[in-house]
Structures are given as C-alpha cells and as structure tokens.
Amino acid sequence: MSKFEENQPSNDFIYGIWPVNEAVKAMRDIDKVLVQHGLRNPVISETIAELKKLAIPYQFVPVEKLNRVTRKNHQGIIAFLSPVTFSTIEQELPGIYESGEDPFVLILDKITDVRNFGAILRTASCTGVNAVIVPQKGSAMINSDTVKSSAGAIYTLPICRSENLKETIEFLKSCGLRIFAATEKGDGLYFEQQLTGPSAIIMGSEGDGISPEYLKRADVLLKIPMAGSIASLNVSVAAGVLLYEVFRQRMGK
C-alpha cells in the first residue's frame, strides 16, 4: 500500500506531506490545501510550487485549524478533494458557441455557504445554464454537502475556476456576452430587462453582495422588487428568481 492510500481517511480530504504531494503531482481534483504556518519542509515547498503552477488554492493556517479537521498525524498539511473536475470558461465557451447556443453563464462572487452553493447549482442545471464561474479563492468548498444540496446537478455543469474575476468578466464581454449583476442598487427591475442572447449573471456573496469592482463592469444592474421590511432575499432564492426569468424569456423568444 502506498503512502497516499495509507493516509486517505475519507473521500473529502487527505493529509500528510507525501500523500498530498503525490495527489497534487497526480493532478487529483483538489478543492484547496491548508498548510501549517511556519512549517519548513522541502517536500511542502515543492508541493506549494506545484499548487501555484496548477492554480490550486492554498492557505497558511494555524495548526489548531488543521487539528479541527483531523486529530491524526497530518504533518502540517491537508488537501480537500473535490468530487468534480474544474474547468475554465476559456475552455468551455468555444464549445457552447459551436453548439449553436447563446451562452448562458452564472458567476458566483464568493458564495461561501455550501448549501446555498449546491442549491444554486441545482437551479442552474434546471434553467439551462451552460457554465458556472467561481473565484479561485473565497468560495464554498465542493464537498459531499454541496453534492447533496445540488441533488447531483453539480455533475451536469462545468464548474470553472477564475484566478481573476475582473479579467474573466472582461473576457466574457469581449466574447459578446452581456453582463447582468443582481443588486438592490439596480435601477431596472429584472423582469423589465431583455435577458435573451449571450449573457452572464453575477450573484454576490451572502454578506457583502457583489464586489464594487465587478458591479462597475456589469452592463445592466438587475433589481428584484421587495415588499415588507426585509431588505434582501437569500442568495439561492434570488438566483432562482433571476435564472428562471432568463429561462422563461429564452423559451418564449
């Protein structure tokens, strides 16, 4: 049995200097890696260099955080495995156009709750979204809870990582997509806008909404009308409202 096999305690993460190093070199689907602050080890340095090259998120954390994940001998490094293979929108977009479809893309700006994330993916799959874009850092981990919340929809959608969402949004615009952003700051109600054609919708994080730098790059700001004293919807509910409006308009075109 290899070191990798010996130290794989679950389907969600692996730990140990050599197992994680082997997993990265074997290009396993890794969601992110936690590394203990101040650890000095040539194999870990090699692993970090490989993570940078492959654009896999990693974070330096106190040993206490690693201990909360597992009390076994993690040796200062833990890798969380992803149940899906990540892609990039640059890889996916040409195929969408070649299929004769108008691209319909969903951009999630730091959605951190795994159940919200899974629920949004489920709705995205049901409404014909072609690809979902998430930032490389700051998003919910894709784990068993995400899979359950998505009712398996996560396996039907390309999940595209972006190292720089600003550049990704500009790339989409250069490829002919209109960028819509869901925000209470919007001037136009969502159902008054024409949402057909190549398009992308940005949904913001649960606490902070969409980052200002992405809002100013949007072509149209979409507003969902609200009654009563509650200021906003849960992000998965808001996503459902907007995605189904796009779906409705596309069906009727």
- Residue-by-residue DSSP string for 26-86: TT--EEEEEEETT---HHHHHHHHHHHHHT--EEEE-HHHHHHH-SS--TTEEEEEPSS--
CB 247 within 8 A of CB 123: no
CATH number at residue 63: 3.30.1330.30
In this prediction, residue 61 carries a pLDDT of: 94
Domain count, the chain: 2
Range of the domain at 152: 89-252
Other CB atoms within 10 Å distance of the CB of residue 236 = 21
pLDDT tens-digit series, residues 53-96: 888 889 999 999 999 999 999 999 999 988 888 889 999 999 99
Residues of the chain with pLDDT under 50: 1-10
User: How confident is the model at residue 7, as a pLDDT?
Assistant: 38
Q: Give me the pLDDT at residue 10, please.
A: 43
| Tokens standing for residue 131 | 């690809």
Q: Check whether residue 94 and residue 171 sit in a common domain.
A: yes
What pLDDT, on the 0 to 100 scale, is given for residue 67? 94
d(CA 119, CA 151): 8
Same domain, 123 and 148: yes
Last residue of a domain, one of 53, 81, 109: 81
Give percent above pLDDT 90 in the chain: 61
Count of H-run helices and E-run strands, the chain: 10, 11
List, in order, residues 6 or more apart from 94 with CB less than 8 Å away: none
Residue 30 and residue 98 in one domain: no
Say yes or no: 45 and 108 in one domain: no
- Single residue among 81, 110, 138 that ends a domain in this structure: 81
Q: Helix-strand-coil percent breakdown of the chain, rounded to 5?
A: 40, 20, 40
**Residue 63 and residue 146 in one domain:** no
Q: Where among 63, 81, 99 does a domain terminate?
A: 81
Q: In what order do the strands lie in the sheet with 30-36?
A: 13-15, 77-81, 30-36, 58-61
Q: What is the pLDDT of residue 253?
A: 64
Phi/psi at 121 (5° precision): -60, -40
Per-residue model confidence as pLDDT tens digits over 135-157? 988 787 776 777 777 877 778 88
151: left (phi over 0), alpha (psi -120 to 50) or beta: left
